[in-house]
Structure 1
Amino acid sequence: MSDFYQLQAMSLQQQNINMKDYQGKVVLIVNTASKCGLTPQYEGLQKLYDEYKDQGLVILGFPCNQFRQQEPGDANQISEGCLINYGVDFQMFEKIDVNGANSHPIYQYLKSALPGMFGNKIKWNFTKFLIASDGTPIKRFAPTTKPAAIEQYIQQALAK
């Protein structure tokens, strides 16, 4: 079993979710923020989710306040903002750290498996990680990579 499937995280609704629940699914993980210039990417992410969820795509959003405090809200504010402003209905998790000593284990794993230009650090909000249906990390995408530009990689992963 993939190391990814050994991990877990707490949802915005305070439910512990095991990543093994996503075995057999293609997973896109994104660190999000509601007050960022890239926040409109929620719309593109939701569009991808709507298009491919029935084929096996799962999107997991992890709010993070480490970049210029662009995610200041609590769980209710985050949830309401995602739903009201962008119609997000993919899985959102509690606010986490993606860098530093308190980096969430999922991000420790992803940064180790797919280092970026800055090594084992997340550069900014909306860094994206694509994980194959067997739990293998496939590709890391920069914060500025728009969700539509990831679509071809999602299609390839779903086809396997």
Structure 2
Amino acid sequence: MKTSDWIAAYPVRALTLTGEYELQEAARMLLDNPERRDIFVLDAEGRVCGHLGFWHVSSLLLVALRPTHSLRELVERITLGSVAEHMNDRVMCAEADEEINDILYRHDLFQKHVERRVEDIPVVDEQRRLLGVIRLSDLLRHTLGAQEGIQNTR
């Protein structure tokens, strides 16, 4: 299956910001969308240029803070700075015409993606503009379902 077919079959709303946004706004976006764990940073032309994940934002929020603060207090005390200052600019992207299996076979890139706790794989066009995302949980669910189907036919 091609990634373009996947994002049509399993549509997911990607969280996006530009690098100029304050880190507090990114934290609020993640907190307001608890089912999403990744924000993709877009440049002025809508191209993916970075990633900011829940775990990274959480670590910035929780450094040297007592766990007794309220959620509002934590967000207010977050490290100042822009999204661009804290984003990871090395983002593994899939192309629209790429096969899903080919993404998994790019083991070194895929492994780094997982190690960084990135849960979404952005799908981009030729200009690197975001078309959609593939959630790793959906990919795992699909793969396990296919394997169970194969085992049940034996």
Normalising by the residue count of structure 1, what TM-score does the alignment of the two structures yield? 0.27
- Larger CA Rg, structure 1 vs 2: 2
Normalising by the residue count of structure 2, what TM-score does the alignment of the two structures yield? 0.27
Would you tell me which structure has more helix in proportion to its own residues? 2
